[in-house]
Structure formats: C-alpha cells, structure tokens
Amino acid sequence: MSALIVILVLVLVLIVPNVKVVPQSKCYIIERLGSYFTTWTNGLHFKIPFVDRVSGIISLKEKVKDFPPQPVITKDNVTMQIDTVVYFQITDPKLYTYGVENPISAIENLTATTLRNIIGELELDQTLTSRDIINSKMRSILDEATDPWGIKINRVEVKNILPPRDIQDAMEKQMRAERERREKILQAEGEKKSSVLIAEGNKESLILEAEAAKEAQIKKAEGEAEAILKRSEAEAEAIKKLKEAGADKSVLTLKSFDALANMANGQATKIIVPSNLQDLATLGTTISEMFKDKK
C-alpha cells in the first residue's frame, strides 16, 4: 500500500507539471538538453521531465510601444523633440527568442537612429508637414531591419513634434499675421463686391426711372392726340347732324365758332379768322364746307 502511494506521488510530481495546455495567441519555446527543440502552439502538450524545458512564452498578439521623445536635428539645424509609437507583431517565435537580446530595447534604439537619419534630411517646415512620409519611411526601414528577429513592423506613427519655444513663438506670430492678412483681403473683396452691387443697382434704378418717364410722356401725348381727334370727330358729327336736320346758317355759324374754340385749346393750334367779321353767314358756310370736305 505504501509503495502504491509512493508511485502515485511520483506520478503527480513528475507527470502533472510536465503536461501543458497552450492557450490561443501564445506559443511556448521548448529546449531539449539546452538546445532549441520545438515550438508549441495552442493545445495540449507533454514534455519529458528533466530533459525538456520551456525557455520562453511568446505572445503572438500585436504590440504597441510608445517610445519617449528623442532629440533630433533638422537639415536647417533646428533641434526638436519627437516621440514615436511603433506597432509590431512577432511572426517567428524562434527568431524572436534567439535572434536578439532584449528585442524591445533594440527596436527603441533602432527607431531613434532611423528617426534622426530621416529628419536630418528635412528642413523644419518639411518636418512639420511631412508626417506621412516620415511614418512610411520609418516603417519600411524598421520592418526590414527587424525581419531577422522574427518581428513584423505593422505601423509607425510620429506622435508629437515639439520645436524649441522660440521657434514655436515665431510660428505663432507668423500664423497670426497670415490670418490677419487673409482677413483684410476678404474684407476688401467684400467691400469691393458691395460697391459694385450698389453701383449696378443705382444704374438699373436710373435706367428704369428714365424708361418710366419716357413711357409716361408717350402715353400722355397719345392721350392728348386721341382726345383732340375725338373732339374734332364729335364736332364734325354734330355739324353734320345739324345740316341734315336743316338748321339755318346762323346756327351753323355758332357751331363753327364753338368748334374753332375747342380746336384752339390744343397745343400749337393756329386759327385764321377773316377780316370781314360781319359776314358771319359766309364764315359759317365756309367752315361747314370745310368739315364737309373733311368727311
């Protein structure tokens, strides 16, 4: 009985610790007698006691490393602080384990030197406006350099670019001056457009007023001419009716004088009266014949 207990204890001590369950997104590096033997992925695994050992547990998830600001010098000799964020993933656990000592520190130093080389080829203004170019170059260089370490650089982002304080003050003044210049230009353009619109409005107003006055004069002249014509036609018709009714010469003479008086009310009307005013009958007959001929 005691022997069975000893065997059970030995089984628990030797077998149970050597049974491993590897979770998803992780892998185990197994060494046998001090040399790399295999890589365990997710699932159930068993190692030989005193022969195999787990030398490393590697996470296959994408990692994000935010490195502190690094002093860099631009092409035009401006020193500024730039910090970067690197997104990377382990693609080969064996190379990651045996390829380089302290891989994170190696990536940080490589990022700093690569950043200095890239910024050293750019001037200050280019550095501030070329983040995409900087990110792309750094990702390409870092990915190629870390490939022997089993690391894939997915993305590199320049987080902050901090020029010296005096440069920042000069840039703020420049931006303020540029905004004021644009504001004045916009204000001047607005005043110019406003003046043009006002002048065009006054011009159209004067044209419309002149056309209205012209139209009024035409209508007034047409009305006066129509009135004179209607009065003349009415007087002629009245004399015609009197004549047809057999009116004597005296009545015709009076009506003729009334017609002449009405005609005299028109503008630029000239009346010719015979010198012999006593011969009213002759004048009446003459006017009567004149209207008769007109009809």
Instruction: Give the model confidence (pLDDT) of 53-73 as tens digits.
Output: 888 889 989 999 988 888 888
Q: How confident is the model at residue 269 (pLDDT cuts 50, 70, 90)?
A: very low
DSSP 198-238: HHHHHHHHHHHHHHHHHHHHHHHHHHHHHHHHHHHHHHHHH
Q: Using CA of residue 138, residue 144, residue 148, residue 151, what is the dihedral sign? A: positive
Q: What pLDDT shows up at residue 151? A: 92
Averaged over 266-294, what is the pLDDT? 49
Q: 108: which 2 tokens? A: 């940080």
DSSP 36-79: EEEEE-SEEEE--TTTEEEEEEEE-S-EEEEPPPEEEE-TTS-E
Supply the pTM of this predicted model. Answer: 0.55
Q: What pLDDT shows up at residue 140? A: 92
| 9-41 burial code (b ≥16 CB/10 A, e <16) | eeeeeeeeebeeebeeeebbbbbeeeeebebbe
Q: What is the mean pLDDT of the chain?
A: 79
Q: What pLDDT shows up at residue 258? A: 59
CATH class entry, domain 63-163 = alpha beta
Domain ranges of the chain: 2-59, 63-163, 202-294
**Among 92, 86, 103, which Cα is nearest to 139's?**
86
The answer to whether 259 and 287 have CB atoms below 8 angstroms apart is yes
Q: How far apart, in whole angstroms, are the C-alpha atoms of residue 93 and residue 61?
A: 12
pLDDT tens profile 192-248:
888 888 888 888 888 888 888 888 888 888 888 888 888 777 777 776 776 676 655
Q: What pLDDT shows up at residue 28? A: 92
pLDDT tens profile 127-162:
888 888 889 999 999 999 999 999 999 999 988 888
Residue at token pair 């049974």: 19
Q: What pLDDT shows up at residue 202? A: 86
